[in-house]
Every structure is written in structure tokens, then in C-alpha cells.
């Protein structure tokens, strides 16, 4: 293998049932795609893949992830966990300080995973189609976030701390039973899109006009 060659492994849609042992023999791997393989567990040996930048575990049957996943501190391009059966994330994932894209949509989250608040480099976060009833104040710690996708949850409002997301461009709140929105949204200097379609429980506050006047498109 050439010294600067990149190791990418794509096992998408092989319906393997388990991860082949050969995967653990490639410690220099940077991309690993294991989507649609009927996986029910991820071995602790995944910690050996220290060079991983991108990991796709989507569309499986995972109910939990190993704490060892937090050892993959080189993950920075994306972590894709969409369409599993997860209801929590290991606290060790707070160590993924350089991760820029996280998708945990279509799982069983009733509470927002605190580990996400430690992912300070996230640019895009997708938590659609879950069962969240609230967001924690620590969401403001993800200061680089530009897109926040929360479609089809059970959110009644957002925390005022959201004003700390000074880089936020888009918030997708479609299909949530919202009853109020925090005026803190008007403090977001770069907000371009607030999507409130399919929200029938919310009376829009007067300051929405101020938000639109600043150039934010409000979809309702």
C-alpha cells in the first residue's frame, strides 16, 4: 500500500448480520460504510479504527452503541446513525470534538442525548422522527451549528439558550406540537430559514415579523 493511500471500505446493503473480522485488520481505514446490514451490535473492537473520519451505521437494528465508539476522536466528516432503534448515546461520544455532521434521525430518542452537547464542531445535526419533548440548555454549547433538523418530534417549545447558536442558518421544526417559540430566535444574526410547516398548535408571536424583516424566511 502506498504511504499516502486512503483506505475506504463500503459494505453497504450486504445484509451481513455481523461485521466481518477482516474489517478489524485495517487500522488505517478512513471511511467505513456498514449501512443496511441487519446489524444488532457493534463490537468494542471498533476502537481500533483510530483513523476513521467517516462512519455509516445507518439502517440497521442497533439498540445501543459501545462506549468504545468515543475512542474514534478522528471522526470529523460524518457519523450516520439514521434508522436504528437507539434511545441513548454513550457519554463517551462527547469526545468527538471535531465531528461536523451527525444524523440520529428515525430512532427512539425521548430525551436529547447529552453527549451531543460536547460535539463542539458540529455544523449539521439531524434528529428528525424521534420522540423529543424538549431540548437541553446545553444545545448552546454546539456553537458552530448551522443546521438543526428537528422535524416530527414532540417539542412544545425551544430553550432560550438557543440564542447561543450564533452560526445557525436553518431550523426545521415541521410537525412538532409547538405552543410557543422563544424571542431568543430574533437574536440569531445569521438565521435564514425557520420551517414551521405542519405545525397546527402554534399562534405566531408578533416578533416573527421582525425575524422576517431581518431576512429570515419563515415557512408556515
The pLDDT value recorded for residue 83 is 98
DSSP 3-state assignment of 172? strand
Sheet strands side by side (includes 217-219) = 7-10, 29-33, 54-56, 78-80, 101-103, 124-126, 147-149, 170-172, 193-195, 217-219
Backbone angles phi, psi at 218, to 5 degrees: -105, 115
pLDDT tens for the chain, 220 residues: list them.
344 578 999 999 999 999 999 999 999 999 999 999 999 999 999 999 999 999 999 999 999 999 999 999 999 999 999 999 999 999 999 999 999 999 999 999 999 999 999 999 999 999 999 999 999 999 999 999 999 999 999 999 999 999 999 999 999 999 999 999 999 999 999 999 999 999 999 999 999 999 999 999 999 9
pLDDT at 3: 46
Indicate the CATH number for domain 1-131: 3.80.10.10
Helix (H) or strand (E) holding 213: helix 208-213
Q: What is the structure's pLDDT at 2?
A: 42
CA dihedral 201, 205, 209, 210 (to 10 degrees): -130
Angstrom CA distances, 70 to 20, 90, 94, 98, 204, stand at 21, 8, 7, 12, 41
Judge contact between 80 and 104, C-beta under 8 A.
no
Boundaries of every domain in the chain: 1-131, 141-151+164-220
Amino acid at each position: 500500500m502506498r504511504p499516502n493511500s486512503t483506505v475506504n471500505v463500503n459494505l453497504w446493503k450486504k445484509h451481513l448480520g455481523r461485521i466481518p473480522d477482516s474489517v478489524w485488520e485495517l487500522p488505517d481505514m478512513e471511511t467505513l460504510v456498514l449501512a443496511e446490514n441487519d446489524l444488532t451490535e457493534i463490537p468494542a473492537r471498533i476502537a481500533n479504527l483510530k483513523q476513521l473520519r467517516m462512519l455509516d451505521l445507518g439502517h440497521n437494528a442497533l439498540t445501543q452503541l459501545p462506549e468504545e465508539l468515543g475512542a474514534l476522536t478522528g471522526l470529523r466528516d460524518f457519523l450516520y446513525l439514521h434508522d436504528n432503534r437507539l434511545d441513548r448515546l454513550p457519554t463517551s461520544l462527547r469526545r468527538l470534538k471535531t465531528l461536523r455532521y451527525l444524523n440520529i434521525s428515525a430512532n427512539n430518542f425521548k430525551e436529547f442525548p447529552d453527549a451531543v452537547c460536547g460535539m463542539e464542531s458540529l455544523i449539521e445535526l439531524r434528529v428528525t422522527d424521534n420522540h423529543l419533548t424538549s431540548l437541553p440548555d446545553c444545545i448552546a454549547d454546539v456553537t458552530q451549528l448551522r443546521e438543526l433538523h428537528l422535524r416530527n418530534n414532540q417539542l412544545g417549545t425551544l430553550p432560550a439558550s438557543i440564542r447561543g447558536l450564533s452560526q445557525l442558518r436553518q431550523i426545521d421544526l415541521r410537525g412538532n406540537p409547538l405552543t410557543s417559540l422563544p424571542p431568543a430566535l430574533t437574536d440569531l444574526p445569521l438565521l435564514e430559514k425557520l420551517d414551521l410547516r405542519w405545525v397546527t398548535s402554534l399562534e405566531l408571536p408578533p416578533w416573527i415579523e421582525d425575524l422576517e424583516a431581518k431576512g429570515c424566511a419563515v415557512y408556515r
